């Protein structure tokens, strides 16, 4: 059906009625029709705009691959482990001596200067334990056969009624003499030079050996050994002896 101009014309035809009430009612109906048409057009526009905005992606919405993945926060243990790794990485690299290089090839975590410090501490501790007779304090650090030799010497001293008085002044030198390593064990021999005041007294407190007023230079060669399969960081004393120059 084709609409003519008369169909869209809201102006009442003149001359058909003189009733003003009818004219006003006709004008109200036309106003309502125009308002409804306007509202309908606005509703269509709003719906279209919503669809255009929410119903599809535009150029400003990130693709899935561009979205930042959400990861759970690290727990305390992971944070502590990461902090320890950062501390280890920040530690200065300590130059390793030439004698330690062959050991490091087999045991990359070996630290030469750290071993020297540990050997010096063990030497002083074991010497003091032998002098006082308190060998049990150092039993975990001494190989069984060496420990039995120490026990025999202390027992012989006790049998004579003698006591040993030792003042350990300090270690002046700790030099590596030999070092070797295989797939299962490492052995290192150290020569110590230390200053000590050593006195042996009989049961009547008479000095039978040494001088309480003299500091002696003592030289010893001790050999330490460690199993590479053992997680215990301590080395064992496996042999003792005097210096080759004595």
Say how far apart CA 200 and CA 206 lie, in whole Å. Answer: 8
| Contact (Cβ atoms closer than 8 angstroms) between residue 185 and residue 226 | yes
Can you give the pLDDT at residue 169?
A: 96
pLDDT by residue, tens only, the chain of 246 residues = 444 444 444 445 554 444 555 555 545 555 556 566 766 677 666 655 655 555 555 555 555 555 555 555 556 677 777 777 777 666 667 789 999 999 999 999 999 999 999 999 999 999 999 999 999 999 999 999 999 999 999 999 999 999 999 999 999 999 999 999 998 999 999 999 999 999 999 999 999 999 999 999 999 999 999 999 888 889 999 999 976 555
Q: Is residue 66 part of a domain?
A: no
Residues 6+ apart with CB under 8 A from 154: 130, 133, 135
Residues 6+ apart with CB under 8 A from 69: none
Q: Is residue 124 part of a domain?
A: yes
Burial class (CB in 10 A: 0-12, 13-18, 19+), 41: exposed
For the chain, the distance separating the N- and C-terminal CA atoms, rounded to the nearest angstrom, is 133
Q: Is residue 7 part of a domain?
A: no
| Contact (Cβ atoms closer than 8 angstroms) between residue 124 and residue 171 | yes
Q: Is residue 71 part of a domain?
A: no
142 and 38 housed in the same domain: no
| Contact (Cβ atoms closer than 8 angstroms) between residue 162 and residue 204 | no
41 and 155 housed in the same domain: no
Q: Is residue 112 part of a domain?
A: yes
Residue range of the domain that includes 129: 98-242
Question: Whole-model pTM?
Answer: 0.63
Can you give the pLDDT at residue 226?
A: 96
Say how far apart CA 136 and CA 244 lie, in whole Å. Answer: 29
Q: Is residue 220 part of a domain?
A: yes
Q: How many domains is the chain built from? A: 2
Say how far apart CA 200 and CA 210 lie, in whole Å. Answer: 6
Q: Give ∠ CA 195-98-188 in degrees, rounded to 5.
A: 55
CATH for 203: 3.10.450.240
Q: Is residue 202 part of a domain?
A: yes
53 and 132 housed in the same domain: no
Q: Is residue 181 part of a domain?
A: yes
The separation between CA 66 and the C-alpha centre of its own chain, rounded to angstroms, equals 33
**Of 211, 175, 209, nearest in space to 193 by CA:** 175
48 and 170 housed in the same domain: no
Say how far apart CA 178 and CA 170 lie, in whole Å. Answer: 23
139 and 210 housed in the same domain: yes
């Amino acid at each position: 059906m084709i609409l003519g101009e008369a169909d869209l014309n809201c102006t009442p035809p003149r001359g058909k009625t003189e009733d003003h009430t009818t004219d006003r009612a006709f004008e109200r109906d036309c106003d309502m029709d125009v308002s409804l048409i306007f509202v309908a057009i606005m509703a269509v526009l709003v719906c279209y705009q919503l669809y255009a905005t929410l119903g599809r992606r535009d150029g400003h919405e990130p693709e899935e691959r561009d979205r930042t993945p959400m990861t759970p926060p690290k727990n305390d243990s992971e944070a502590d482990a990461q902090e320890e790794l950062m501390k280890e990485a920040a530690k200065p690299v300590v130059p390793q001596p030439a004698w330690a290089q062959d050991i490091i090839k087999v045991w990359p975590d070996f630290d030469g200067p750290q071993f020297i410090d540990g050997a010096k501490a063990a030497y002083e501790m074991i010497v003091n334990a032998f002098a006082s007779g308190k060998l049990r304090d150092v039993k975990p650090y001494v190989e069984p056969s060496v420990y039995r030799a120490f026990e025999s010497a202390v027992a012989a001293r006790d049998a004579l009624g003698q006591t040993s008085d030792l003042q350990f002044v300090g270690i002046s030198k700790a030099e590596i003499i030999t070092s070797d390593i295989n797939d299962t064990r490492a052995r290192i021999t150290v020569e110590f030079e230390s200053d000590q005041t050593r006195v042996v007294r009989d049961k009547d407190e008479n000095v039978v050996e040494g001088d309480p007023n003299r500091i002696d230079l003592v030289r010893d060669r001790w050999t330490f050994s460690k199993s590479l399969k053992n997680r215990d960081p301590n080395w064992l004393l496996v042999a003792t002896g005097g210096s080759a120059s004595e």
